[in-house]
Amino acid sequence: MTTTDTEKSLRLAAWAQNTAPSPMQDMLALTARPGLISFGLGLPNQELFPREAFAEASSSVLLNKPHTLQYGPAGVMHTLKASIAELMKGRGVSCTEEEIFLTTGAQQAINMLARLLLEPGGQVVTEEITYPGFLQVLEPFAPELLTVPTCPQTGMDVDAVEALLQAGKRPAFIYSITDGHNPLGSSMSREKREKLARLAREYGVPVVEDDPYGFLSYADVSLPPLKALESEWVFYAGSFSKILAPGVRIGWLIVPAALTQKLSVVKESYDINTANWSQHSVAHYMESGKLTGHLELLRREYSARRDTMLQAIASYFPAETRAEKPSNGMFLWAELPEWVDVPQLLRDAVEQKKVAFFPGQAFDTPGNTKGKHGMRLNFSNATHEQIETGIKGIGELIEAQRAALGQS
Protein backbone atom coordinates (compact mmCIF):
# COMPACT_ATOMS: atom_id res chain seq x y z
CA MET A 1 0.00 0.00 0.00
CA THR A 2 1.37 3.42 -0.88
CA THR A 3 1.33 6.24 1.64
CA THR A 4 -1.43 7.90 -0.32
CA ASP A 5 -3.59 4.76 -0.22
CA THR A 6 -2.97 4.46 3.50
CA GLU A 7 -3.89 8.08 4.04
CA LYS A 8 -7.08 7.69 2.04
CA SER A 9 -8.05 4.58 3.98
CA LEU A 10 -7.55 6.57 7.17
CA ARG A 11 -10.19 8.94 5.80
CA LEU A 12 -8.06 12.00 6.48
CA ALA A 13 -9.43 15.43 5.61
CA ALA A 14 -8.22 16.60 2.18
CA TRP A 15 -5.75 19.12 3.62
CA ALA A 16 -4.24 16.48 5.92
CA GLN A 17 -3.81 14.02 3.04
CA ASN A 18 -1.77 16.60 1.19
CA THR A 19 0.32 17.76 4.12
CA ALA A 20 3.93 16.64 4.60
CA PRO A 21 6.15 16.64 7.69
CA SER A 22 7.69 20.06 8.12
CA PRO A 23 11.35 20.59 7.18
CA MET A 24 11.78 21.83 10.76
CA GLN A 25 11.00 18.35 12.10
CA ASP A 26 13.51 16.82 9.67
CA MET A 27 16.08 19.36 10.83
CA LEU A 28 15.35 18.53 14.45
CA ALA A 29 16.14 14.86 13.77
CA LEU A 30 19.26 15.80 11.81
CA THR A 31 20.64 18.12 14.46
CA ALA A 32 20.21 15.45 17.12
CA ARG A 33 23.29 13.75 15.61
CA PRO A 34 26.11 13.89 18.15
CA GLY A 35 28.89 16.34 17.37
CA LEU A 36 26.92 18.25 14.72
CA ILE A 37 27.33 22.03 14.65
CA SER A 38 23.86 23.32 13.97
CA PHE A 39 23.01 26.66 12.44
CA GLY A 40 19.74 25.01 11.38
CA LEU A 41 17.03 25.55 13.93
CA GLY A 42 15.99 28.78 15.60
CA LEU A 43 17.04 27.71 19.04
CA PRO A 44 17.92 30.14 21.78
CA ASN A 45 21.16 29.31 23.54
CA GLN A 46 20.55 26.73 26.25
CA GLU A 47 23.67 27.80 28.16
CA LEU A 48 22.10 31.22 28.64
CA PHE A 49 18.74 30.15 30.04
CA PRO A 50 18.31 31.87 33.44
CA ARG A 51 18.04 28.50 35.12
CA GLU A 52 18.75 29.49 38.71
CA ALA A 53 16.32 32.39 38.77
CA PHE A 54 13.68 30.35 36.98
CA ALA A 55 14.21 27.36 39.28
CA GLU A 56 13.68 29.66 42.25
CA ALA A 57 10.51 31.12 40.69
CA SER A 58 9.01 27.81 39.61
CA SER A 59 9.75 25.91 42.82
CA SER A 60 8.38 28.73 44.93
CA VAL A 61 5.17 28.61 42.87
CA LEU A 62 4.99 24.86 43.19
CA LEU A 63 5.46 24.93 46.96
CA ASN A 64 3.31 27.93 47.77
CA LYS A 65 0.56 27.89 45.15
CA PRO A 66 -0.78 24.35 44.80
CA HIS A 67 -3.75 25.63 42.77
CA THR A 68 -1.34 26.32 39.91
CA LEU A 69 -1.37 22.59 39.23
CA GLN A 70 -5.08 22.90 38.63
CA TYR A 71 -6.98 23.91 35.49
CA GLY A 72 -7.36 27.66 35.14
CA PRO A 73 -9.32 30.18 33.11
CA ALA A 74 -8.36 30.56 29.44
CA GLY A 75 -6.01 33.39 28.53
CA VAL A 76 -6.13 35.38 31.75
CA MET A 77 -3.71 35.66 34.62
CA HIS A 78 -3.69 39.05 36.18
CA THR A 79 -0.08 39.38 37.39
CA LEU A 80 1.46 38.02 34.22
CA LYS A 81 -0.66 40.31 32.05
CA ALA A 82 0.38 43.27 34.20
CA SER A 83 4.06 42.38 33.67
CA ILE A 84 3.51 42.00 29.92
CA ALA A 85 1.77 45.39 29.75
CA GLU A 86 4.81 46.89 31.48
CA LEU A 87 7.20 45.06 29.15
CA MET A 88 5.33 46.33 26.09
CA LYS A 89 5.47 49.89 27.38
CA GLY A 90 9.23 49.68 26.86
CA ARG A 91 8.53 49.12 23.14
CA GLY A 92 6.15 52.04 22.91
CA VAL A 93 2.96 49.94 23.08
CA SER A 94 0.42 51.07 25.60
CA CYS A 95 -2.21 48.45 26.28
CA THR A 96 -4.60 47.47 29.04
CA GLU A 97 -4.78 44.05 30.62
CA GLU A 98 -8.17 43.59 28.91
CA GLU A 99 -6.38 43.70 25.56
CA ILE A 100 -3.86 41.00 26.51
CA PHE A 101 -4.68 37.33 26.02
CA LEU A 102 -2.23 34.65 27.19
CA THR A 103 -1.40 31.79 24.85
CA THR A 104 0.77 28.70 24.61
CA GLY A 105 3.48 30.50 22.64
CA ALA A 106 3.30 32.79 19.62
CA GLN A 107 2.61 29.76 17.43
CA GLN A 108 -0.72 29.20 19.13
CA ALA A 109 -1.38 32.94 19.08
CA ILE A 110 -1.15 33.17 15.28
CA ASN A 111 -3.11 29.94 14.98
CA MET A 112 -5.94 31.33 17.08
CA LEU A 113 -6.06 34.54 15.08
CA ALA A 114 -6.20 32.61 11.81
CA ARG A 115 -9.07 30.59 13.21
CA LEU A 116 -10.96 33.76 14.12
CA LEU A 117 -10.22 35.81 11.04
CA LEU A 118 -9.94 33.44 8.10
CA GLU A 119 -12.76 31.77 6.19
CA PRO A 120 -11.92 28.53 4.32
CA GLY A 121 -10.51 29.57 0.95
CA GLY A 122 -10.09 33.19 2.13
CA GLN A 123 -7.21 35.48 1.26
CA VAL A 124 -4.07 36.22 3.28
CA VAL A 125 -1.20 38.57 2.44
CA THR A 126 2.25 37.18 3.18
CA GLU A 127 5.80 37.76 1.99
CA GLU A 128 7.26 35.47 -0.68
CA ILE A 129 9.74 34.17 1.86
CA THR A 130 8.28 33.54 5.27
CA TYR A 131 8.09 31.46 8.43
CA PRO A 132 6.95 27.93 7.49
CA GLY A 133 5.15 27.55 10.82
CA PHE A 134 2.75 30.23 9.62
CA LEU A 135 2.08 28.39 6.37
CA GLN A 136 1.32 25.29 8.45
CA VAL A 137 -1.24 27.30 10.40
CA LEU A 138 -2.95 28.23 7.15
CA GLU A 139 -3.04 24.76 5.60
CA PRO A 140 -6.44 23.61 6.90
CA PHE A 141 -8.04 26.78 5.49
CA ALA A 142 -6.62 26.24 1.98
CA PRO A 143 -6.41 30.02 1.59
CA GLU A 144 -5.48 32.04 -1.46
CA LEU A 145 -2.04 33.44 -0.66
CA LEU A 146 -1.46 36.96 -1.93
CA THR A 147 2.32 37.06 -1.80
CA VAL A 148 4.36 40.24 -1.92
CA PRO A 149 8.13 40.60 -2.41
CA THR A 150 10.36 41.13 0.57
CA CYS A 151 13.76 42.70 1.03
CA PRO A 152 16.51 41.34 3.31
CA GLN A 153 17.31 44.91 4.45
CA THR A 154 13.97 46.66 4.85
CA GLY A 155 11.39 43.89 4.94
CA MET A 156 8.01 43.49 3.29
CA ASP A 157 7.26 45.39 0.09
CA VAL A 158 4.52 47.57 1.50
CA ASP A 159 3.91 49.30 -1.86
CA ALA A 160 2.96 45.89 -3.22
CA VAL A 161 0.52 45.47 -0.31
CA GLU A 162 -0.96 48.86 -1.17
CA ALA A 163 -1.31 47.85 -4.83
CA LEU A 164 -3.28 44.76 -3.80
CA LEU A 165 -5.60 46.81 -1.61
CA GLN A 166 -6.01 49.47 -4.28
CA ALA A 167 -6.93 46.72 -6.75
CA GLY A 168 -9.82 45.81 -4.45
CA LYS A 169 -8.37 42.83 -2.56
CA ARG A 170 -9.63 42.59 1.01
CA PRO A 171 -7.60 39.83 2.65
CA ALA A 172 -8.59 38.43 6.03
CA PHE A 173 -5.27 39.75 7.29
CA ILE A 174 -1.70 40.70 6.41
CA TYR A 175 1.01 38.63 8.13
CA SER A 176 4.09 40.53 9.22
CA ILE A 177 7.25 39.51 11.07
CA THR A 178 8.31 43.10 11.59
CA ASP A 179 11.55 42.58 13.52
CA GLY A 180 14.28 39.95 13.19
CA HIS A 181 12.36 38.26 10.37
CA ASN A 182 12.42 34.48 10.24
CA PRO A 183 14.22 33.54 8.00
CA LEU A 184 15.59 36.79 6.50
CA GLY A 185 16.73 38.49 9.70
CA SER A 186 15.33 41.76 8.31
CA SER A 187 13.63 44.47 10.33
CA MET A 188 11.13 46.66 8.58
CA SER A 189 12.20 50.23 7.88
CA ARG A 190 10.46 53.07 9.71
CA GLU A 191 8.80 54.30 6.51
CA LYS A 192 7.39 50.88 5.74
CA ARG A 193 6.10 50.47 9.32
CA GLU A 194 4.31 53.78 9.14
CA LYS A 195 2.84 53.01 5.76
CA LEU A 196 1.68 49.49 6.67
CA ALA A 197 0.03 50.77 9.86
CA ARG A 198 -1.71 53.46 7.82
CA LEU A 199 -2.90 50.97 5.19
CA ALA A 200 -4.34 48.68 7.87
CA ARG A 201 -6.26 51.60 9.34
CA GLU A 202 -7.41 53.08 6.03
CA TYR A 203 -8.57 49.83 4.48
CA GLY A 204 -9.76 48.18 7.71
CA VAL A 205 -7.57 45.13 7.09
CA PRO A 206 -5.90 43.65 10.20
CA VAL A 207 -2.17 43.07 10.36
CA VAL A 208 -1.09 40.05 12.38
CA GLU A 209 2.26 41.12 13.78
CA ASP A 210 4.23 38.03 14.80
CA ASP A 211 6.98 39.31 17.06
CA PRO A 212 9.04 36.69 18.92
CA TYR A 213 12.28 38.55 18.08
CA GLY A 214 11.43 42.21 18.70
CA PHE A 215 12.95 42.25 22.18
CA LEU A 216 16.23 40.85 20.87
CA SER A 217 17.37 44.15 19.42
CA TYR A 218 21.04 44.92 18.79
CA ALA A 219 20.64 48.40 17.33
CA ASP A 220 21.32 51.56 19.32
CA VAL A 221 17.83 52.74 18.50
CA SER A 222 15.16 50.11 17.94
CA LEU A 223 12.04 50.94 15.99
CA PRO A 224 8.57 50.58 17.52
CA PRO A 225 6.49 47.55 16.53
CA LEU A 226 3.51 48.14 14.25
CA LYS A 227 1.29 47.78 17.29
CA ALA A 228 2.76 51.00 18.70
CA LEU A 229 1.76 52.81 15.51
CA GLU A 230 -1.75 51.44 15.12
CA SER A 231 -3.54 50.04 18.14
CA GLU A 232 -6.83 48.95 16.59
CA TRP A 233 -5.93 47.20 13.34
CA VAL A 234 -2.67 45.54 14.41
CA PHE A 235 -3.06 42.27 16.31
CA TYR A 236 0.22 41.60 18.07
CA ALA A 237 1.66 38.18 19.02
CA GLY A 238 4.54 38.10 21.53
CA SER A 239 6.44 35.27 23.16
CA PHE A 240 8.71 34.35 26.03
CA SER A 241 10.30 31.60 23.91
CA LYS A 242 13.29 33.57 22.67
CA ILE A 243 13.75 35.92 25.63
CA LEU A 244 13.31 33.41 28.45
CA ALA A 245 12.95 29.80 27.23
CA PRO A 246 10.73 28.06 24.68
CA GLY A 247 10.09 25.28 27.19
CA VAL A 248 7.84 27.56 29.24
CA ARG A 249 5.50 27.73 26.22
CA ILE A 250 4.07 31.12 27.07
CA GLY A 251 3.09 33.79 24.59
CA TRP A 252 0.54 36.55 24.39
CA LEU A 253 -1.76 38.41 22.07
CA ILE A 254 -2.56 42.11 22.23
CA VAL A 255 -5.85 42.70 20.45
CA PRO A 256 -8.89 44.94 20.82
CA ALA A 257 -10.61 43.96 24.07
CA ALA A 258 -13.77 43.01 22.15
CA LEU A 259 -11.87 40.11 20.57
CA THR A 260 -10.70 38.43 23.76
CA GLN A 261 -14.04 36.75 24.48
CA LYS A 262 -13.92 35.08 21.07
CA LEU A 263 -10.31 34.14 21.69
CA SER A 264 -11.24 32.39 24.92
CA VAL A 265 -13.66 30.17 23.00
CA VAL A 266 -10.95 29.20 20.52
CA LYS A 267 -8.38 28.78 23.27
CA GLU A 268 -10.61 26.45 25.23
CA SER A 269 -11.11 24.29 22.17
CA TYR A 270 -7.32 24.06 21.66
CA ASP A 271 -5.97 23.29 25.11
CA ILE A 272 -8.42 24.63 27.72
CA ASN A 273 -5.81 26.92 29.26
CA THR A 274 -2.10 27.61 29.06
CA ALA A 275 -0.22 25.51 31.64
CA ASN A 276 -1.05 27.24 34.90
CA TRP A 277 2.16 26.42 36.73
CA SER A 278 4.19 27.70 33.82
CA GLN A 279 2.25 30.98 33.67
CA HIS A 280 2.66 31.54 37.40
CA SER A 281 6.36 30.68 37.27
CA VAL A 282 6.95 33.18 34.48
CA ALA A 283 4.90 35.77 36.39
CA HIS A 284 7.03 35.17 39.49
CA TYR A 285 10.21 35.46 37.43
CA MET A 286 8.97 38.70 35.86
CA GLU A 287 8.12 40.16 39.27
CA SER A 288 11.71 39.52 40.37
CA GLY A 289 12.71 42.17 37.79
CA LYS A 290 15.43 39.92 36.39
CA LEU A 291 14.28 39.92 32.79
CA THR A 292 15.84 43.32 32.07
CA GLY A 293 19.34 42.10 32.99
CA HIS A 294 18.75 38.83 31.19
CA LEU A 295 17.77 40.65 27.99
CA GLU A 296 20.94 42.72 28.21
CA LEU A 297 22.95 39.51 28.49
CA LEU A 298 21.17 37.97 25.48
CA ARG A 299 21.67 41.09 23.39
CA ARG A 300 25.36 41.18 24.21
CA GLU A 301 25.96 37.48 23.61
CA TYR A 302 23.86 37.13 20.48
CA SER A 303 25.12 40.28 18.79
CA ALA A 304 28.72 39.13 19.39
CA ARG A 305 27.92 35.76 17.80
CA ARG A 306 26.20 37.50 14.88
CA ASP A 307 29.36 39.56 14.32
CA THR A 308 31.57 36.46 14.47
CA MET A 309 29.37 34.80 11.87
CA LEU A 310 29.41 37.80 9.56
CA GLN A 311 33.17 38.00 9.88
CA ALA A 312 33.51 34.28 9.08
CA ILE A 313 31.21 34.62 6.06
CA ALA A 314 33.34 37.50 4.79
CA SER A 315 36.46 35.35 5.23
CA TYR A 316 35.28 31.98 3.90
CA PHE A 317 32.31 32.43 1.54
CA PRO A 318 32.66 33.63 -2.07
CA ALA A 319 33.02 37.39 -2.43
CA GLU A 320 29.71 37.53 -4.35
CA THR A 321 27.79 36.31 -1.26
CA ARG A 322 25.31 38.84 0.08
CA ALA A 323 24.76 38.67 3.81
CA GLU A 324 22.94 41.40 5.72
CA LYS A 325 23.70 42.34 9.30
CA PRO A 326 20.47 41.71 11.21
CA SER A 327 19.56 44.30 13.84
CA ASN A 328 17.32 41.81 15.67
CA GLY A 329 16.76 38.18 16.33
CA MET A 330 18.69 35.01 15.72
CA PHE A 331 19.01 34.61 11.98
CA LEU A 332 21.33 35.67 9.25
CA TRP A 333 20.36 35.18 5.61
CA ALA A 334 23.14 34.58 3.12
CA GLU A 335 22.39 34.84 -0.59
CA LEU A 336 24.89 32.63 -2.41
CA PRO A 337 26.06 32.87 -6.03
CA GLU A 338 23.63 31.22 -8.43
CA TRP A 339 26.03 28.39 -9.33
CA VAL A 340 25.90 27.00 -5.75
CA ASP A 341 23.66 23.95 -5.40
CA VAL A 342 22.31 24.74 -1.94
CA PRO A 343 20.50 21.43 -1.17
CA GLN A 344 23.65 19.50 -2.21
CA LEU A 345 25.70 21.85 -0.06
CA LEU A 346 23.57 20.94 2.95
CA ARG A 347 23.99 17.20 2.32
CA ASP A 348 27.75 17.59 2.00
CA ALA A 349 27.96 19.90 4.99
CA VAL A 350 26.23 17.37 7.22
CA GLU A 351 28.16 14.35 5.94
CA GLN A 352 31.61 15.84 5.45
CA LYS A 353 31.81 18.76 7.85
CA LYS A 354 29.19 17.91 10.47
CA VAL A 355 27.49 21.26 10.05
CA ALA A 356 23.83 22.00 9.35
CA PHE A 357 21.99 25.07 8.07
CA PHE A 358 18.57 25.64 6.58
CA PRO A 359 18.37 25.88 2.78
CA GLY A 360 16.44 28.96 1.71
CA GLN A 361 13.91 27.09 -0.42
CA ALA A 362 12.31 25.73 2.77
CA PHE A 363 10.95 29.24 3.35
CA ASP A 364 9.43 29.83 -0.07
CA THR A 365 5.68 30.24 -0.18
CA PRO A 366 4.07 27.78 -2.63
CA GLY A 367 4.92 28.66 -6.23
CA ASN A 368 7.83 30.95 -5.29
CA THR A 369 11.50 30.16 -5.72
CA LYS A 370 13.05 33.33 -4.34
CA GLY A 371 14.76 31.45 -1.51
CA LYS A 372 16.54 29.05 -3.88
CA HIS A 373 20.00 30.59 -3.55
CA GLY A 374 19.68 31.53 0.08
CA MET A 375 20.57 29.90 3.34
CA ARG A 376 19.29 30.69 6.83
CA LEU A 377 21.97 30.60 9.47
CA ASN A 378 21.10 30.67 13.15
CA PHE A 379 23.78 32.38 15.21
CA SER A 380 22.33 32.19 18.73
CA ASN A 381 22.93 28.54 19.46
CA ALA A 382 26.60 27.99 18.66
CA THR A 383 29.85 29.04 20.30
CA HIS A 384 32.20 31.47 18.57
CA GLU A 385 34.56 28.56 17.85
CA GLN A 386 31.74 26.49 16.35
CA ILE A 387 30.68 29.43 14.20
CA GLU A 388 34.22 29.86 12.88
CA THR A 389 34.67 26.10 12.24
CA GLY A 390 31.20 25.61 10.76
CA ILE A 391 31.26 28.57 8.37
CA LYS A 392 34.81 27.70 7.28
CA GLY A 393 33.67 24.13 6.54
CA ILE A 394 30.70 25.31 4.48
CA GLY A 395 32.97 27.78 2.66
CA GLU A 396 35.33 24.95 1.71
CA LEU A 397 32.44 22.94 0.28
CA ILE A 398 31.27 25.94 -1.76
CA GLU A 399 34.82 26.23 -3.14
CA ALA A 400 34.73 22.49 -3.97
CA GLN A 401 31.49 23.05 -5.92
CA ARG A 402 33.12 25.95 -7.73
CA ALA A 403 36.11 23.79 -8.66
CA ALA A 404 33.87 20.94 -9.85
CA LEU A 405 31.98 23.37 -12.08
CA GLY A 406 35.19 24.85 -13.43
CA GLN A 407 34.14 28.32 -12.16
CA SER A 408 36.92 30.78 -11.66
Residues that bind ligand PLP (CB under 6 A): 42, 105-107, 131, 133, 177, 182, 210, 212, 239, 241, 246, 251
E-only strand ranges, 133-263: 144-148, 150-151, 155-156, 173-176, 207-210, 234-239, 251-254
Strands (E), 31-99: 37-38
3-state secondary structure of 339: coil
Residue 15 Cβ vs ligand PLP, minimum distance, rounded to whole Å: 20
Q: How far is the CB of 42 from ligand PLP (least distance, A)?
A: 4
Smallest distance, ligand PLP to C-beta of residue 388, A: 25
Q: Which of 358, 374, 351, 321 is nearest to 43 (CA)?
A: 358
Considering the complex, state which of residue 126 and residue 276 has its C-beta at the smaller distance from ligand PLP: 126
Q: Which of 107/147 has CB closer to ligand PLP?
A: 107
- Cβ of residue 67: shortest distance to ligand PLP, in angstroms? 25
- Closest approach of ligand PLP to the CB of residue 6, in Å: 30
**213 versus 316: smaller Cβ distance to ligand PLP:** 213
| Crossing angle for the helix pair 105-117 and 257-271, to the nearest 10 degrees | 110
Angle at 29 between CA 28 and CA 35, to 5 degrees: 90
Distance CA 279, CA 250 (A): 7
Spatial separation of the C-alpha atoms in residues 199 and 232, rounded to whole Å: 12
Report the DSSP beta bridge partners of residue 331. Answer: 378
Which residues sit opposite 217 in a β-bridge? 328
Residue 378 CB, shortest distance to ligand PLP, in Å, is 10
Q: Which is nearer to ligand PLP, 239 or 281 (CB)?
A: 239
**Closest to ligand PLP by CB, 107 or 380:** 107
CB of 182 to ligand PLP, least distance (A): 4
Kindly tell me which of 44 and 390 has the beta carbon lying closer to ligand PLP. Answer: 44
**By three-state DSSP, how is residue 148 classified?**
strand
In the complex, least distance from residue 208 CB atom to ligand PLP, rounded to whole angstroms:
10
Which of 171, 246 has the CB closer to ligand PLP?
246
Looking at beta carbons only, is 203 or 302 nearer to ligand PLP? 302
Residue (348 or 364) nearer to ligand PLP, CB: 364
Round to whole Å and give the CA distance between 385 and 390: 8
Please give the residue whose beta carbon sits closest to ligand PLP in the complex: 105
CB of 178 to ligand PLP, least distance (A): 10
Distance CA 54, CA 282 (A): 8
Looking at beta carbons, which pairs linking 160-166 to residues 24 or more positions away fall under 8 Å? 161/125, 161/196, 161/199, 162/195, 162/199, 164/125, 165/199, 165/203, 165/205
CB of 43 to ligand PLP, least distance (A): 9
* Residue 351 to residues 309, 334, 356, Cα–Cα distance (Å): 21, 21, 9
Q: Are 84 and 212 in contact (CB under 8 A)?
A: no
Distance, CA of 193 to CA of 188 (rounded, Å): 6
Tell me whether strands 331-335 and 355-356 are parallel, antiparallel or unpaired.
unpaired
Closer to ligand PLP by CB, 183 or 395: give it.
183
